Structure 1
């Protein structure tokens, strides 16, 4: 099942005895585990009713022993296990030996008073493993994938609404452009903006531009946008602002390389008929970032992107061998690129 179905079931009181929570969106996964705790455990009982393990340090026998032990002085308990061994595609830890058959037997007859939650912080599970096959057959698996661009915008608007404030789509888009797609950072900035707006107020574009600093990666994204549009003056001004914030030229160059490389990948995949969602999965980007990268890539030719990556490789060598001043070298690259354009 996906995250929406899992939340709906828990809200309706349909609690599974075992969950295998996997996926890259840690914010929603943590929110789901918190929802489970709210449904099953009183706040004053959490110390006794919530037990945590890591299969990198603890054998599965110990975990199952705990799951099979009746809760003490509380009606139910939650056993939360961080795992990159039993369900994931990673190699087993040399420090810890596991007997998967013990877990397989438990999943067939789980204890009613225990909810066993495995947290697998990876994009995919290892479908070849018996543990995964059994969990799938029992419908214990929950996927926590990154939100699609439209979902992320709706989530921001809903979060503001839940605090008695309003936020329209242009404001939510500006917040995404400034912060990026990290939901932990987006939640913190949204809460800050809601406090500023006051009860019943609106989170405005002006407030976002005033109160929310642009993340370094988002600044680099903006930098490539200015270069593509031949706005060289704006690009250099933005670069100087980043230097004033003590950002290292080599770090900025590495981010530029990554952005130009992502644009090249997106352009090639688009030519092969890939959808934005498929592109995001192939490149390892958030769907929203993949969408913006595709929009930006349309302004560059494949040949131009390849040439820029070649220039950056030469600049990297020159900067690291001391043949050129780091800050000046990158500034000259930006001036050349801006004057030549994207074609």
Structure 2
């Protein structure tokens, strides 16, 4: 373990946003209000071998240049991209320059010099990484390891923790919509949460509609919005989202298989469980798993499983919360209609948008009684 008095600070990890924030905060703490003589910053966010070599050589020169008038100086190699496992990172030229930097650090810095090295997405097999973690006060900011079996529920829980850390009021549906758009990109998540906080403050409850209006729609976000619209039987939202997906260049088969079929299947499975086995709809999706545990194995064998073979109850919980929007015969007919739509898409008899639009209208339009 390096001494707390080590003048070398290494900030790294797979969470690029957290690495950048932590490095900036540390530099401000170590050299508050420093001028050009007290702080020398070298930009390590480069994309060529030559630029990487120049950044490393400039860093070494700065570390060996004594502070002005015998004062103190902080050298910051900022956001270095050449520690990653990339063509640039594996370059022999870069490796040789990093070896020289490693040797300089091992021999010790001149008095009055402090070094901050920040590098997101590092290749931990590199010699310089091992040297820095031994010599420096090291802080690692990694994205959450949700595990091999992680899925929608774990990602939503992670997003929820970030929302709560900011003390924002956000409905479960809004958190799900935000997760679908952002995933595990902490930089984008922080940006979007700042935007939402500015727009609504900490006291106003943020709803899914607010997320759809303010957070840019990715492909995953569009697929989620369409799934949610089908679940809620919101035909206008479904058709608007479908049009947006086609404008983004999505294909009909992809939309059908990624969003509509899984949603209708889960609604059908959930409705059957509620109807046949009297399973009560949950107030929250994750509560559904406990209800399913009370059923015999014969009632569960056909339900979707995770990669490890355990029951994937969370999406079924979402479906169970929305199953009241449909009757069982409507969902049975809708699932059959999905198969027919798939055949039409493959045959090319009509254009994709017409086929999917007709499917959604047939499934979701309220029948006159």
Q: Give the TM-score range, shorter chain.
A: 0.5 to 0.7
Structure of larger gyration radius: 2
1:96-120 superposed Cα distances (whole Å, 9 cap, x missing partner): 8231321221231342523231413
Select which of 55, 59, 64 maps to 1:63: 59
Aligned to 1:106, what secondary structure does the other structure show? helix
Q: Which residue of 1 aligns with 2:331?
A: none
TM norm structure 2:
0.56
Aligned to 1:97, what secondary structure does the other structure show? helix
Matched-pair contact (CA < 8 Å) for 1:267–1:298:
no
Matched-pair contact (CA < 8 Å) for 1:176–1:186:
no
1:295 and 2:314 equivalent? yes
1:155 and 2:162 equivalent? yes
Give me the whole-angstrom Cα distance separating, in 2, the residues matched to 1:262 and 1:109.
Answer: 60
**Aligned positions of 1:242-253 closer than 5 A:** 242-243=241-242, 245=244, 248=247, 250-251=249-250
Q: Offset at 1:35?
A: 0.7
Select which of 98, 107, 110 maps to 1:109: 107
Q: Which residue of 1 aligns with 2:325?
A: none
Q: 1:110 to 1:255 in 2, by over 3 A?
A: farther
Matched-pair contact (CA < 8 Å) for 1:225–1:296:
no
1:30-88 superposed Cα distances (whole Å, 9 cap, x missing partner): 21112112112334626953221337423133432233333457732232244444x33
Q: Offset at 1:178?
A: 3.0
**Aligned positions of 1:188-337 closer than 5 A:** 188-197=191-200, 202-205=203-206, 209-210=209-210, 213=213, 215-216=216-217, 217-225=220-228, 227=230, 229=231, 233-234=233-234, 236-243=235-242, 245=244, 248=247, 250-251=249-250, 254=254, 267-271=305-309, 295-296=314-315, 315=345, 324-332=350-358
Select which of 84, 91, 114 maps to 1:88: 84
Q: 1:152 to 1:113 in 2, by over 3 A?
A: farther
Give me the whole-angstrom Cα distance separating, in 1, the residues matched to 2:262 and 2:27.
Answer: 40
Give me the whole-angstrom Cα distance separating, in 2, the residues matched to 1:131 and 1:313.
Answer: 56
Q: Which residue of 2 aligns with 1:50?
A: 41
Gaps of 5+ in 1: 2-8, 161-166, 274-292, 301-307
Q: Offset at 1:326?
A: 3.4
Q: 1:269 to 1:107 in 2, by over 3 A?
A: farther
Give me the whole-angstrom Cα distance separating, in 1, the residues matched to 2:178 and 2:318.
Answer: 23
Select which of 90, 97, 103 maps to 2:93: 97
Matched-pair contact (CA < 8 Å) for 1:179–1:185:
no
Q: What is the count of residue pairs matched by the alignment?
A: 278
Q: Which residue of 2 aligns with 1:177?
A: 176
Q: Offset at 1:29?
A: 1.7
CA RMSD of aligned residues (A): 4.8
Q: 1:209 to 1:298 in 2, by over 3 A?
A: closer
